[in-house]
Structure 1
Amino acid sequence: MLKALSRPAVKLVERYLPDPYIFVLLLTIIAAVAAIAVERQTPLAVMRMWGDGFWNLLTFSMQMLLVLVTGFMLASSPPVKKLLQRLAALAKGPGGAILLVTYVSLAASWINWGFGLVVGALFAKELARLVRVDYRLLVASAYSGFVVWHGGLAGSVPLTIATEGHFSVDQIGVIGTGSTVFAFFNLAIVVMLFIAVPLVNRMMLPDENESVFIDPKLLGEDEEERVRITRPAERMENSVVLAWLVGIPGLIYLIDHFFLRGGGLNLNIVNFLFLFLAIVLHRTPRSLLTSLQEAIKGGAGIVIQFPFYAGIMAIMVQSGLAATLSEGLVSFATETTLPFWTFISAGIVNLFVPSGGGQWAVQAPVMLPAAEALGVEIPRVAMAVAWGDAWTNLLQPFWALPVLGIAGLKAKDIMGFCLIQLVITGVLISIGLTWF
């Protein structure tokens, strides 16, 4: 049944889903028109919100570009290549490849979302070299594991409210991860998704005559060329000692960060880890730079599109449109249904504000008073926002850009399969938030 349902979904998306750049332009127009029509903002005011906020994600844009680049460099190092090859060899046929890449992506994304995006995409490429399987579904399966990130160890909403001095501390206090990430209802959702998402991906596997395969030669697995050193500059470019004099201190810093100072994972630390592991494992600066030149090709979408999303977020927040949308959806909620409607509203807002921390800042002033008035557990409502943010990433191509850049595909190639996952995971998450 799922295979039959996926066919029209894939065809629909391939035909009508535009390039992510067109998608972000359309979202910009929709947000601007809605701010004018619903919030009674003037066109000049909306334009100013958009322009003033356009560059607010520059730091984040660079971080995301580095997630792609440093992750690619790490995975292309000889030791990691061999590890991925051994792990990929466990897949016995197309079905096994789909299941394996989904499990790896789910586990990696639950640990850290940036780690999950990169590992899933790179592992999918490695599997495609060894197994003849539909490449679109393979990459879609890698991306579908991302749906669990906000219920995991690096979820920005649960980590925010667990931090001393967070912006709503006077209202709700500090709520530890034992009440959010490790609460029974949240773990139940994670377990359901770990079971359902791989199985759904497996059941969507097209017949061979309908599959789209990729030539392994196109995945960049070229044999290493023997380097002939004729100049002093080339000797430095191929110096293991020079690379390790910088790379090893970087790894020592990470040991200090995690074990002596008790630091945690965040996007900067993930990028630092990927980069310095890559420096050490590539052994020579020349090997690292060759990998960098290949990695950077997939980053164009991030560079051009993230500023537009920053502009959309500014319109949604400053005009009051995000708060109005949230208020409208929870206005008819009851004690039982508030987590569900919070989840739905967060999913819709996420299409325009694809940032977990930013979304909580927008929705918390609406959701927290509603939860207090109806007597609903604050941790459950907070996690409903978190899961809504993660859920519609299966439809919103914003977070897929690093995966697509690594895999060499377009959004329309994978989003048809993700659309089926959107429906099924939405039902499971709703059940978990409402009944567990």
Structure 2
Amino acid sequence: MLRRLAAFFTLVMRSYLPDAYLFAILLTFLSVILALIFTPSGFMKVVTSWGDGIYGIIAFAFQMILILITGHALALTPAVNRVLMAIASIGSTPIKAGMTVALVGGVCSWLNWGFGLIVSGLLAVEIARRNREVDFPYLVAAGYSGFVVWHMGLSGSIPLVCATAKSAQNFIEKATGAVVPVSDSIFQAFNLLPALIIILTMPLLYALIHPKAAEVKRISPEKLKEVESITVKIPLPPQATLAQRIDHSYVINIIFGLLGVIYLYNHFSTKGFDLNLNIVIFIFFISGVLLHGKPVNYINAIATAIKGAGAIALQFPLYGGIQGIMVGTGLASVIAGWFVALSSPETFYM
């Protein structure tokens, strides 16, 4: 039953799901229409609010890009690769493979969504390379399924923004004058318990939906070659110039990384567990710097990671435009009013 249901939704998504960029455009159109219908704003007011909103989210969009690429770069470190090689040996059967990828994807996505996306993808490829009986699309789905807990984790944009003082997107601080520390959001039982349940039950779901042997689609040799060609470790040339020796200097990298560690120590020792969006980015940045060993390796890792940030750079300004319409025309207040009108002590928990 579950296997047939999974196959049905796979077919639907392949046939009818457009790119996320198109969703952002369609949501923009919807916001414009709703603003014209339910607010007194004229067309030019709506368009102006949309344009102003696009520029208002640029800083936040860049923070999201940094979350992705610092997590991605960390996933490409030799230390993480060694751990993945060890974990891949667990996936000796198709069922174990799916369960392993789903579990690792969930845990890593909770830590950092960019890190989780890349780690689970690399793990899926490595297991598929070792185990030719496993369905590769199934492994990919297992890896990305862990992504459902990312916003409950350490890189969740809303809780981190709410914990970041003076952030342009921190509307709670603007309304109340106070930030919401992650101890009151991410690390509360109402968030941790559901996240833990999802992470632990997702592998059980994948134990039930692996395709039958006749339906298995193995990873292609081309895809294997493509992934195996990704390398960020650059050897020092035999006749290296001074510039190249500096690029490959472990000493410079370690000193720079330790500078970041000292900053983090001072931050947490003086401010307590003040985990905000900028600090999370900084933690993954410094971790990547240290674990890559040489500056040139980290440069190469970031150059590789930035290729996956195009969707954020393209879509997030459009989300800012939608936000601009919602706020600038008063549409957000109108929609909030609808829910307030329906609210009661009985419907609160819904």
TM-score of the superposed pair, with normalisation by structure 2: 0.81
The answer to whether the Cα contact below 8 Å between 2:49 and 2:324 also exists between their aligned partners in 1 is yes
- Residue 124 (structure 1) shift: 2.9
Identity of aligned residues (%): 32
Q: Residue type of the partner of 2:64?
A: M
Give the structure 2 partner of residue 227 of structure 1: 236
Distance in 2 separating the partners of 1:205 and 1:116: 25
Unaligned runs of 5+ in 2: 166-171
Which whole-Å deviations, capped at 9, do the CAs of 1:151-185 have from their partners, x for residues lacking one?
55676459949x9x945559x998995799535x6
Distance in 1 separating the partners of 2:187 and 2:66: 27
Distance in 1 separating the partners of 2:40 and 2:137: 43
The answer to whether the Cα contact below 8 Å between 1:72 and 1:295 also exists between their aligned partners in 2 is yes
Distance in 2 separating the partners of 1:265 and 1:317: 28
Give the structure 2 partner of residue 143 of structure 1: 144
1:288 lines up with 2:298 in the alignment: yes
Give the structure 1 partner of residue 202 of structure 2: 197
- Residue 47 (structure 1) shift: 0.1
SS of the equivalent of 1:55 reads helix
Distance in 2 separating the partners of 1:86 and 1:217: 21
Judge which range, 237-246 or 256-265, deviates more.
Answer: 256-265
Give the structure 2 partner of residue 306 of structure 1: 316
Distance in 1 separating the partners of 2:80 and 2:257: 16
1:12 lines up with 2:12 in the alignment: yes
Give the structure 1 partner of residue 169 of structure 2: none
- Residue 227 (structure 1) shift: 3.3
Judge which range, 84-93 or 53-62, deviates more.
Answer: 84-93
Q: Residue type of the partner of 1:147?
A: V
Give the structure 1 partner of residue 79 of structure 2: 79
Give the structure 2 partner of residue 415 of structure 1: none
Give the structure 1 partner of residue 120 of structure 2: 123
- Which residues of 2 match residues 164-313 of structure 1 at below 5 A? 166=173, 169=176, 182-183=188-189, 189-214=194-219, 215-221=223-229, 226-230=235-239, 231-313=241-323
Unaligned runs of 5+ in 1: 341-436
The answer to whether the Cα contact below 8 Å between 2:182 and 2:276 also exists between their aligned partners in 1 is no
Distance in 2 separating the partners of 1:326 and 1:137: 40
Which whole-Å deviations, capped at 9, do the CAs of 1:245-299 have from their partners, x for residues lacking one?
2122112222222345424322222221222222222222222222222222111
Q: Residue type of the partner of 2:116?
A: V
Computed over aligned residues only, the root mean square deviation of the Cα atoms, in angstroms, reads 3.4
Quickly say closer, same or farther: Cα 1:209–1:337, change in 2 above 3 A.
Answer: farther
Give the structure 2 partner of residue 404 of structure 1: none
Judge which range, 303-312 or 327-336, deviates more.
Answer: 327-336
TM-score of the superposed pair, with normalisation by structure 1: 0.66
Q: Residue type of the partner of 1:48?
A: T
The answer to whether the Cα contact below 8 Å between 2:120 and 2:144 also exists between their aligned partners in 1 is no
Quickly say closer, same or farther: Cα 1:326–1:291, change in 2 above 3 A.
Answer: same
Give the structure 2 partner of residue 344 of structure 1: none
